[in-house]
Amino acid sequence: MLPLPPPPPAGMGFMMPMFRSWVPKRIQPWIYVVTVFCVQFSCGMYLGALDSIRGTTNFMIEDLLMLLYAGLAGMAIYFPLLFRMKFRFTNQQLLCGAAIVIGVCNLITMHSTSMPVLLIVCFIAGMAKIQGTFECMSNIQLWITPRRDFAVFFPVLHIVLLTAIEGSGFLAAWFAHHFTWQMMHVFTIGTMSFILLTQLTLCRPFCPMPQRLPLKGIDFLSGLLISLFMLIISYIMVYGDYRMWMDNRNLRLLLGVSFLLAALIMHRLANVSNPYVSLKIFTYRNVIPILIITAIGELLLGCEHTLEEIWYEEVVGLEELTKERQFQWALPGVYIGVIIDLLWLKVMKWKVWKLLGIGFGCILCYALLMYFTLDVNAPLQQWQFAIALRGCAYAILAATLMWSLDESIPDLEQFFMGLFVFNIFHMYLAGAAGYGIYTTIFSHFLNDDIARYGSQLTMTQLDMAHFDMGGFMGSYYLHSMMSVALKQVYGLVIWVSGTMTLLFFLLDIPAVRTNARKLPYWPVYGIVMLSRLRPLFFKRR
């Protein structure tokens, strides 16, 4: 088990020994706050500049999403190594290394159009991004919450993460609109230079462990296999609808390879003496339910990446900067969600059942508003409240589920392995799967609606001499069929989110929760019922 540095004695207060003595203590944590925002605003490729990148390269939206998920895979796979790195290297080495790696990766993505190269670069950039974020936040954790209370720390952490996610998209769109999309990468290289400057001038090398922990014994091979598995799954999900899923030979081969990799990974993790991720984390109480809830929540929130993109870009026809300005309305919702988390988990210390119900309820309200207001002639202000509800739901569910995971896994090293699995579902697999699922369902509804309406158009109903078929089908396709198909998909989101909301509000009732735990598994319950009905059946015969 990795040791955790104890909080400072009561009389000493918060200290940051990595800073030089002449740096004022009041500004020391704020320097790290600026640093973590610089790191979080970095990325391999920026989807906020999607149109500009597609206009100057041969990339499709699927290619850019694949690069996005490669970066997220790098962030997820690095979680089990975070504390080992912190106790092996100094703060200066970790932050300077992360800044240099991110800067070099952005320099490469500005000039390269090779997908294999960019996949590797974005993967490495994701690892450096989470390393820099963890180093900053771990050093100011006791400044945020002196008692290391994760009911405070996780909501505050999500202020940083979600602000950076929305802000980096807007900033990339702004640079692409006024200059070129490469300027966002130049800006990132500049922020990394700022980190290097502050670390070399204001800080000195410091490691919280006097006796450095070696990196020997880490199961790097399992980490490599898991990374390859994640990239294969994301490729199948992102390109599935474009390549017609299992009608494509390459996707069938990759699916078979993914099954073999999954079996090899599970065999290795179960038999190696010091696995990259211990399977013991799945035996802790509530871990598997937390992962299931995380996957469902991420799938529902996948509307942001798929349905809203289709609506704003294909139907309404917004350009990137206007669209990103619209998405900024998620930030007020994020901050409200964080405040609700802090009041619920820290101040009131209530159970999380109803809080999870409120989170899924926000998704339900968001989907209802989008369902009833999708109209190409409606003003943009009509969807701002819905976007804010989406942001509120994301903040509530993400912070609450991460806090619940910490409560379920008491061991520190096991917790970071749990964070690795949690983030695979939280920001990676469920998001990629959501894109593939939503695009496929939308395409099915759209084709079905066009076929149904087309069967009603006959030559006896149309005066072809005075009818503009091209203009009619173009307008009808964009303004009617796509709107109807989007409403149908949002209808599915309404049903699922409504079911989850009702479930958690019912579980908040002690009598329901107590009796639900006494129910056997449904297959067992079914077998018992059949065994009771069988004598009655034979008796009648």
Spatial CA neighbour of 416 closest among 90, 97, 60, 134: 134
DSSP letters spanning 20-70: -TTS-TTTHHHHHHHHHHHHHT--SS-GGGHHHHHHHSS--HHHHHHHHHH
- CATH number for 22-218 (one of 3.30.160, 1.25.40, 1.20.1250, 1.20.120): it is 1.20.1250
Euclidean distance between CA atoms 334 and 462, whole angstroms: 51
Query: Superfamily assignment of 281-450+475-510 in CATH?
Result: MFS general substrate transporter like domains (1.20.1250.20)
Cβ neighbours for 14, distance < 8 A, ≥ 6 positions apart: 8, 29, 142, 143, 146
Residue with the two structure tokens 């609700």: 340
Location of structure tokens 């019922």: 529
C-alpha–C-alpha distance, residues 282 and 289, integer Å:
10
pTM of the predicted structure, to 2 decimals: 0.87
CB of 118 within 8 A of CB of 53? no
Q: How far is CA 334 from the centre of its chain?
A: 14
Q: Are 227 and 77 in contact (CB under 8 A)?
A: yes
Which residue in this structure is represented by tokens 């474009």? Answer: 242
Q: In the prediction, which pLDDT does 425 show?
A: 79
Q: End-to-end CA distance of the chain, in Å?
A: 64
Give 284's contacts (C-beta < 8 A, 6+ positions apart). 408, 409, 414, 418
Give yes or no on whether 22-218 and 281-450+475-510 have one common fold.
yes
Given this model, what pLDDT does residue 90 score? 87
Of the candidates 174, 167, 177, 237, the residue with the CA atom closest to the CA atom of residue 55 = 177
Residue 399 contacts residue 155 (beta carbons within 8 Å): yes
Strand partners, 203: 19
Q: Which helix (H) or strand (E) holds 136?
A: helix 115-139
| CA-to-CA dists, residue 390 to 302, 335, 365, angstroms | 10, 12, 9
The answer to whether 297 and 460 are in contact (CB under 8 A) is no
Residues 6 or more apart whose Cβ sits within 8 Å of residue 220: 276
- Spell out the domain ranges in the chain: 22-218, 281-450+475-510
**How many Å apart are CA 502 and CA 318, to the nearest integer?**
36
Query: Taking every pair of C-alpha atoms in the chain, what is the biggest distance, in angstroms?
Result: 94
**For the packed helices 220-239 and 249-271, what is the interaxial angle rounded to 10 degrees?**
150
Burial 318-335 (b: 16+ CB within 10 A, else e): bebbebbebbbbbbebbb
Strand partners for 19: 203
One DSSP character per residue, 472-522 reads HHHHHIIIIIHHHHHHHHHHHHHHHHHHHHHHHHHHTSHHHHHHHHHSPPH
> CA-to-CA distance for 59 and 182, rounded, in angstroms?
15
Radius of gyration in angstroms for the set of CA atoms belonging to the chain, rounded to a whole number: 26
Structure tokens at 334: 């994020």
pLDDT tens-place values along the chain, 541 residues long: 444 555 555 445 678 888 888 989 889 999 999 999 999 998 888 887 887 888 788 888 888 888 888 888 888 888 888 888 888 888 899 999 999 999 999 999 988 888 999 999 999 999 999 999 999 998 898 898 888 888 899 999 999 999 998 888 899 999 988 888 889 999 999 999 999 999 999 988 888 777 777 778 788 888 899 989 989 988 998 888 888 888 889 999 999 999 999 999 988 888 888 888 888 888 888 888 888 898 898 888 887 778 888 888 878 878 888 888 888 999 999 999 999 999 998 888 888 888 999 999 999 999 999 888 887 777 888 888 999 999 999 999 999 999 988 888 877 778 888 888 888 877 766 677 788 888 888 888 887 777 776 655 554 555 555 445 555 555 555 567 778 888 889 999 999 999 999 999 888 777 766 665 565 555 555 666 666 766 765 566 5
